[in-house]
Amino acid sequence: MAFESLTEKLQRVFRDLRGKGKLSEADTKAALKEVRMALLEADVNFKVVKQFVKSIEERAVGAEVLESLTPGQQVVKIVNEELIKLMGSETTEIKMAQDRDITVILMAGLQGAGKTTTAAKLAGKLKAKGHRPLLAACDVYRPAAIEQLRVNGEKVGVPVFSMGSGVDPVNIARAAFEKARQDHNDILIVDTAGRLQIDEQMMEELGRIKEALRADWTLLTVDAMTGQEAVNVAKTFEDKVGVDGVIVTKLDGDTRGGAALSIKAVTGKPILFVGMGEKLSDLEQFYPDRMASRILGMGDILSLIEKAQAEVDEAEARRMSEKLKKAEFDFNDFLDQMKQVKKLGGIAGIMAMMPTAGASMPEIDESHMGRVEAMILSMSKEERANPSILNPSRKNRIARGAGVDINEVNRMVKQFEQMRKMMKQLPGMMKSKNRGGRGG
Ligand code: GDP
């Protein structure tokens, strides 16, 4: 997960400051040195780091003292605000063209950056918002790209226009626009050629397609895992053809996050979306404030809620919550819950969005979850609905079915019962907590 070690290091800095009643200049300097190191280790562009630390220093040492905050909190607040600023402050949304019925989005990027996948992800996202996109396959150099776009387009339910690989991409793009007009599509997403490295011909061709279609948005896809190289690529594309925004892919696999933190500052262009996985639903709108919050370990509950709303059936969630209250929760429900968790990216995916400030991350063992699932699947319908009938011989059979030790079945059933008991008490606990006045 992106920013893992940056988050950890920043939290250590803040923890050290937290206890202090007053910050001396030396304290601040020492803390800033740590922040600087943490950012450099996260592979943030060194000029960006320098400017960033300077801004924080000016503000931290300056007169800005708020009564309500301790000096340590004050620094966290400033770092948070500066991080948001660094990533562009505002969220950039794709606005529709005003002067014609079709908005043209050009997808640019180096081969392997995730451009073709992202084109389909974006098409799916826009479709879900009520648009009628058409995808156009103009990457005629990578043989598999056209087929890949067709397959992914089908998965997200968006039509794909292609003319094979023997036609000039500019002509394909023009024909795709015509097709979009005929079919009343309101968005045309054009997948252009990627090369292993930047070359003149690619830039020139991209420029020609951009001009021929009067592209409204030229979006550059870069791979987060390439770090500063991604930033250099973005700078070059911006200089040579001009881009309107950047999509940073594979943030899920990038533990450092330097590209996401440097792109806006270096290129002046905002990040619009981030790719968080290989699934076609793993494209997220980029919110500088939420990302800053994630980096600082304050969690990104808003994104988690949005994801849950998109992926989880609400009626089902309500039904479940009723069951929980009445303690009717059985193994069937447990299994359903595990499925919902999987949809949200597994426990690790959920934890990544949860606030971790001050708390250490619990050890989560997804393979254990897999075994729990296997045990429940080895139960009969009746056993799942009525766990109290689980006697030793039944447990033995379940253990054999799931390929685990009987002790593990015993443990799991015991934990399940404890959980059920706890849930029964939960409504009462919540009430007394609220009565306590100050809340959580
Ligand atoms: P292109 O050459 O730029 O068109 O790249 P592709 O779309 O073929 O993607 C290259 C690889 O990156 C594929 O295996 C994709 O599944 C993968 N990929 C794309 N975006 C993401 C992402 O956000 N996260 C992860 N983990 N993989 C991604």
Task: Considering only CA atoms, give the Rg of the chain.
Answer: 26
| pLDDT tier at 135, thresholds 50, 70, 90 | very high
Q: Residue 275: CB within 6 Å of ligand 1?
A: yes
Question: Does ligand 1 have an atom closer than 6 angstroms to the CB of 109?
Answer: yes
- Measured in angstroms, how far is the CA atom of residue 114 from the centroid of ligand 1? 3
| Ligand 1: centre distance to CA 255 (Å) | 17
Mean pLDDT of the chain: 84
Does the pLDDT at position 276 exceed 50? yes
**Residue scoring higher pLDDT (17 or 154):** 154
How many whole angstroms separate alpha carbon 196 and alpha carbon 226? 13
Per residue in 282-293, pLDDT (tens digit) is 999 999 988 888
Across the beta sheet with 245-249, what order do the strands follow?
Answer: 160-161, 133-137, 187-191, 103-109, 217-223, 245-249, 271-275, 283-285
In terms of Cα–Cα distance, which of 109, 80, 45, 76 is closest to 245? Answer: 109
Distance of CA 179 to the CA centre of its chain: 33
d(C-alpha 78, C-alpha 37), whole Å: 17
**What residue spans in the chain does CATH classification 1.20.120.140 cover?**
4-86
Q: Tell me which residue has its CA closest to atom 19 in ligand 1.
A: 114
SS3 assignment, position 164: coil
Q: How far is the CA of 277 from the centre of ligand 1 (A)?
A: 8
Max Cα distance, the chain (Å) = 74
Select from 73, 82, 78 the least CA-distant residue to 22.
Answer: 73
Q: Which residue did the predictor score with more confidence, 437 or 129?
A: 129
Q: Is the CB of 38 under 6 A from ligand 1?
A: no
Ligand 1 centroid – CA 217 distance (Å)? 21
Report CA(240)–ligand 1 centroid distance (Å): 24
Question: Per residue in 6-26, pLDDT tens?
Answer: 888 888 888 877 766 667 778
pLDDT greater than 80 at residue 363: no
List Cα–Cα distances, 286 to 90, 123, 128, 207, 430, in angstroms.
Answer: 9, 16, 17, 26, 34
Ligand 1 pocket, residue 121 CB under 6 Å: no
For ligand 1, say whether the CB of 111 is within 6 Å of any of its atoms: yes
Q: What is the pLDDT of residues 97-132, one digit of tens each?
A: 999 999 999 999 999 999 999 999 999 999 999 999
Complex ipTM, two decimals?
A: 0.98
Whether the CB of 281 sits within 6 Å of ligand 1: no
Domain 308-435: CATH architecture, name and number where available? Orthogonal Bundle (1.10)
The residue to mutate among 117, 155, 276, 279, having the most atoms of ligand 1 within 8 angstroms of its beta carbon, is 117
pLDDT the model gives residue 359: 45
The pLDDT-based confidence of 420 (bands split at 50, 70, 90) is confident
Specify the residue with its C-alpha closest to ligand 1, atom 9: 114
The closest-lying atom of ligand 1 relative to the alpha carbon of residue 275 is 23
For ligand 1, whether the C-beta of 345 sits within 6 Å is no
* Four-point Cα dihedral 14, 59, 86, 6, nearest 10: -20
Report pLDDT for 430: 44
Residues contacting residue 2 through CB under 8 Å, at least 6 positions apart: 224, 251, 252, 254, 255, 256, 257, 260
Atom of ligand 1 nearest to the CA of 112: 2
435 band by pLDDT with thresholds 50, 70 and 90? very low
pLDDT at 217 over 60: yes
Q: How many helices (H) and strands (E) does the chain have?
A: 19, 8
Helices marked H in 183-227:
200-213
**Angle in degrees, CA 169, 170, 175, rounded to 5:** 95
Ligand 1 pocket test: pick from 106, 198, 278, 283 the residue with the most ligand atoms within 8 Å of its Cβ.
Answer: 278
**Residues making up the binding site for GTP:** 109-116, 191-195, 249-252
pLDDT value at position 405?
A: 92
Look at residue 340 in the predicted model and tell me its pLDDT: 73
149 Rama sector, left if φ>0, alpha if ψ -120 to 50, beta otherwise: alpha
Q: Which amino acid is at 169?
A: P
pLDDT at 205: 94
Comma-separated ranges of CATH 1.10.260.30 domains in the chain = 308-435
The pLDDT of 405-416, averaged and rounded, is 89
Query: Of the spans 220-224, 298-302, 373-377, 403-407, which averages the highest pLDDT?
Result: 220-224
337 lines ligand 1 (CB under 6 A): no
Q: Which architecture characterizes domain 103-298 according to CATH? A: 3-Layer(aba) Sandwich (3.40)
CATH superfamily entry for domain 4-86: SRP54, nucleotide-binding domain (1.20.120.140)
- The tokens describing 318, both together, are 């309500």
**Ligand 1: distance of its center to the CA of 258 in Å?**
19
Q: Which atom of ligand 1 lies nearest, measured to the CA of 121?
A: 20
Atom of ligand 1 nearest to the CA of 283: 23
* Whether residue 250 has its Cβ less than 6 Å from ligand 1: yes
What does the pLDDT read at residue 436? 40
220-224, 253-257, 420-424: least confidently modelled range: 420-424
Q: How far is the CA of 161 from the centre of ligand 1 (A)?
A: 21
Nearest to 271 by CA among 84, 3, 27, 42: 84
Residue 68 has pLDDT above 60, yes or no: no
Give the Cα separation of 186 and 281 in Å (integer).
21
Atom of ligand 1 nearest to the CA of 144: 8
